[in-house]
Structure 1
Amino acid sequence: MTETGIHYLDARGPEGMRLYAIGDVHGRHDLLAAMHRRIESELEYAPSSDWRIIHLGDYVDRGPDSKSVIEFLIEARERDPRNIMLAGNHDIGMLEFLAKPDPDGLFMRYGGVQTAASYGVKLSTGSSWFGRSDEALAHGHAALVEAVPQAHVDFLHSLSFSVTFGDFFFCHAGIRPGIPLENQSPQDLIWIRDAFHDHPGLFPKVIVHGHTPVPEAEVMANRVNVDTLAWQAGTLSALAVNGAEKLILTVEGTAF
């Protein structure tokens, strides 16, 4: 059977448009700001008639400063709408927690405590040995709802699930093989792993994603993974595309 999709080596960005796709930030405002400085320097040194900076989601949780990450992204998009932000599962998880506190949900189990701390709120995870304090969770939830600015909630609600430029399709987690790109479900776009990672064939476009941490950016024939565990390893990665030229950019910071 002949593969009819796009191979990474053949993939091209739109004519005259530079593309940058930044992996999972997870509260590392320091690394996000450093990556933007690097991209800005590159655009100053080698100007392009047009560009897009695409953020692949998971701005919150785990790292130390989710609040500042969201503020940075809001300001970047207001300054220039060519800064594009996509939704990650953790960003949706924060919205879900703000709407209804679930002690066993993504937010509470996987880094939301750190997100709340960045807003000056202490959330108690409770203990299964001694019984969880629903009252403490309710109190913490109320404090967090009060502390998170409406602009941050509006920003999280505004996030798209995918975008495409040239031969590249950008999303947080990946796609469901066999489903047209325009028909992908939001659930798959922010959560999928094995069915996507294990697919041996080419896709209609090269899929650029994060969601699953790897020690260094993973460049495959059919996809590129730029989640390099920024919050813990201290390395934030991005794919840069200029016509047929593709390369990985990294910025380094403190590892935790």
Structure 2
Amino acid sequence: MAEPGIHFLDAHGPEGVRLYAIGDVHGRLDLLAAMHQRIRAEIEQDAPADWRVIHLGDYVDRGPDSKGVIDFLIEARERDPRHLMLAGNHDIGFLDFLKTPDPEGLFIRFGGIQTAQSYGVAINEGTSVWFGKAEAAVRKGHQALVEAVPQSHIDFLRSLPYSVTLGDFFFCHAGIRPGIPLDRQNPQDLIWIREVFHNYTGLYPKIVVHGHTPVPEAEVMANRVNVDTLAWHSGMLSALVVDGSDKRILTMTIKEA
């Protein structure tokens, strides 16, 4: 028998625990640091009994400082384990590239050039597969990147879970497959799914809080909340804040210099 669904308006966070769920960062350390500063100020001012800050994945690629973002998140988690980080498809794509340099893979095609640059490594994106040059250029860049990426960053990326449940909310990077119990979701769906999830109008057992698919402003639906506001390009990082039955969207805006 299927679990009864819950509507966003009726959803509650865990008793006494304020939640912050931050959307896709994509190398924008400036926005991430500013969001953390804002959250820290709120927590100090409001003094909730407890709190969690959930990061919904995609820390790397496209933006200017993927290395700095990972350093920041590692330090935040070591300082206080109530900072939770989930895996995004770009984070897994980074690991995949470090293992196997694919010139046609996610990393090279969708922002990994900028990630490599943040580690001081140049990968020539102007070469073309059809002229047989891209593979050699990517192999060369791959070797330099393997040497440049600290083991602590690889360990961090490998440690990332695909989802977490808190109160009436289920947090993941991309979404879930309708009709599949939350504890049986395919990890690939949790970091990649789009249309079948977005188009589903029924209620889920939990409100799904996700990123992955950029929207101009945070999207609050009856069954899900999307907080990916294309931070790397728009200069706006968004988060869902849940405190008991109270829910709100928090945004941080900085235009890239």
- The answer to whether the superposition gives a TM-score over 0.5 is yes
In structure 2, how many angstroms separate the alpha carbons of the residues matched to 1:13 and 1:42?
Answer: 17
In structure 1, how many angstroms separate the alpha carbons of the residues matched to 2:89 and 2:58?
Answer: 7
SS at match of 2:117: helix
The 8 Å contact of residues 129 and 135 in structure 2, kept in 1 or not, is answered as no
Query: 2:39 is matched by which residue type in structure 1?
Result: I
Instruction: Report the counterpart of residue 156 of structure 2 in structure 1.
Output: 155
SS at match of 1:26: coil
Instruction: Report the counterpart of residue 77 of structure 1 in structure 2.
Output: 77
Instruction: Report the counterpart of residue 90 of structure 2 in structure 1.
Output: 90
The 8 Å contact of residues 3 and 205 in structure 2, kept in 1 or not, is answered as no
Give the Å deviation of 1:187: 0.2
Instruction: Report the counterpart of residue 193 of structure 2 in structure 1.
Output: 192
Query: 2:32 is matched by which residue type in structure 1?
Result: L
Query: 2:171 is matched by which residue type in structure 1?
Result: F
Identify if the C-alpha distance between structure 1 residues 101 and 4 changes in structure 2 by more than 3 Å, giving closer, same or farther.
same
Query: 2:164 is matched by which residue type in structure 1?
Result: V
SS at match of 2:114: helix
The 8 Å contact of residues 3 and 202 in structure 1, kept in 2 or not, is answered as no
In structure 2, how many angstroms separate the alpha carbons of the residues matched to 1:167 and 1:118?
Answer: 38
Instruction: Report the counterpart of residue 118 of structure 1 in structure 2.
Output: 118
Q: C-alpha deviations, 1:165-211, integer Å up to 9, x for none? A: 00000000000000000000100000000000000100000000000
Give the Å deviation of 1:124: 1.7
Give the Å deviation of 1:3: 9.4
Give the Å deviation of 1:49: 1.1
Q: How does 1:1-256 map to 2 (within 5 A)?
A: 4-125=4-125, 126-128=127-129, 130-255=131-256
Identify if the C-alpha distance between structure 1 residues 186 and 3 changes in structure 2 by more than 3 Å, giving closer, same or farther.
closer
The 8 Å contact of residues 103 and 134 in structure 2, kept in 1 or not, is answered as no
Give the Å deviation of 1:127: 1.5
Name the Cα RMSD after superposition: 1.3
Q: C-alpha deviations, 1:68-117, integer Å up to 9, x for none? A: 00000000000000000000000000000000000000000000000000
Query: 1:198 is matched by which residue type in structure 2?
Result: N
In structure 2, how many angstroms separate the alpha carbons of the residues matched to 1:132 and 1:182?
Answer: 44
The 8 Å contact of residues 86 and 160 in structure 1, kept in 2 or not, is answered as yes
In structure 2, how many angstroms separate the alpha carbons of the residues matched to 1:158 and 1:223?
Answer: 26
The 8 Å contact of residues 173 and 193 in structure 1, kept in 2 or not, is answered as yes
Percent identity over the alignment is 71
Q: C-alpha deviations, 1:5-59, integer Å up to 9, x for none? A: 0100000001100000000000000000000000000001100111000000000
The 8 Å contact of residues 3 and 201 in structure 1, kept in 2 or not, is answered as no
Give the Å deviation of 1:132: 2.6
Query: 1:239 is matched by which residue type in structure 2?
Result: L
In structure 2, how many angstroms separate the alpha carbons of the residues matched to 1:223 and 1:68?
Answer: 30
In structure 2, how many angstroms separate the alpha carbons of the residues matched to 1:206 and 1:136?
Answer: 44
The 8 Å contact of residues 54 and 85 in structure 1, kept in 2 or not, is answered as yes
In structure 1, how many angstroms separate the alpha carbons of the residues matched to 2:165 and 2:144?
Answer: 38
Give ranges in structure 2 of 5+ residues lacking alignment: none
Query: 1:181 is matched by which residue type in structure 2?
Result: L
SS at match of 1:122: coil
The 8 Å contact of residues 52 and 83 in structure 2, kept in 1 or not, is answered as yes
Query: 2:110 is matched by which residue type in structure 1?
Result: Y
In structure 2, how many angstroms separate the alpha carbons of the residues matched to 1:213 and 1:166?
Answer: 25
In structure 2, how many angstroms separate the alpha carbons of the residues matched to 1:102 and 1:55?
Answer: 27
Give the Å deviation of 1:129: 5.1
Give ranges in structure 1 of 5+ residues lacking alignment: none
